[in-house]
Structure 1
Amino acid sequence: MSATILALNQVTRQHSGDKIRIVARTLAYDSANHILLVAHDAHALLVDVSLCLNPKRQALFLRPKSIVMLIGRLELSEVALPVPAHSATVTVDDQLVLRAVLARHLEDTEIDLATWSDAISRDSSVASFAPAPATET
């Protein structure tokens, strides 16, 4: 199954139920609920990273200000989720959560977050990397 690539400012309730891929910067982490708050510019998203944690490995993506690539299903929660404490001024929907199945720490040298987000926002044709349908010969 493919994941739709979105810039964080494109993630809305309209995408609820979709499998998406985003890249953002970690703002805060609530270890009691395994909720990560990621952001880019003024936009933020809650991410349930419980499926991505390995007690035998250090999760570098949990560090504040680290860049993280996330893949998972976007869900609309029936109740408001706890927003991890943070100092940044961001807009976050406390009922919209990404249930991540993959979280990968990216080094600052691997990606320019501003350029990546701008490219995704400008070119919606790269938004979905689905395999080409099989053709009959």
Structure 2
Amino acid sequence: MSNVKENRWYSKDHEWVEKVSGNVVRIGISDFAQHQLGDIVFVELPDEGTEVKAEETIGTIESVKTVSDLFSPVGGQITKINSQLNDEPELVNSEPYEGGWMAEIEIQGDLEEQLSALLSAEQYEKFLEE
């Protein structure tokens, strides 16, 4: 069973969203996703300042098995990326909800409206069981 964290929202593409402060959220991939990918060897992230739309591809995650797109679960502007992943992409495997986060995004528009389009932790767990 995958580890699903409370106080986060999830996309059906297996990205998570966590409120950081104000209209800023942090995103990453779920424990389920990192298990599916296997050992992650490279992460390509967008540049800070990039405008993104919800469900838009914003980077790639390369594992020993495959290369997978990283989608933004929300729309806004990338304010920070986790540059530590350049040297330690394996953090996505060992700490998908902590050190393996991907980017911070300042939401444009209504934060609660964007989050309501995602799955709660409970809904995500049920989605994984399907």
* TM-score in same-fold range (> 0.5): no
Q: Greater Rg, structure 1 or structure 2?
A: 1
Identify the structure with the greater helix proportion: 2
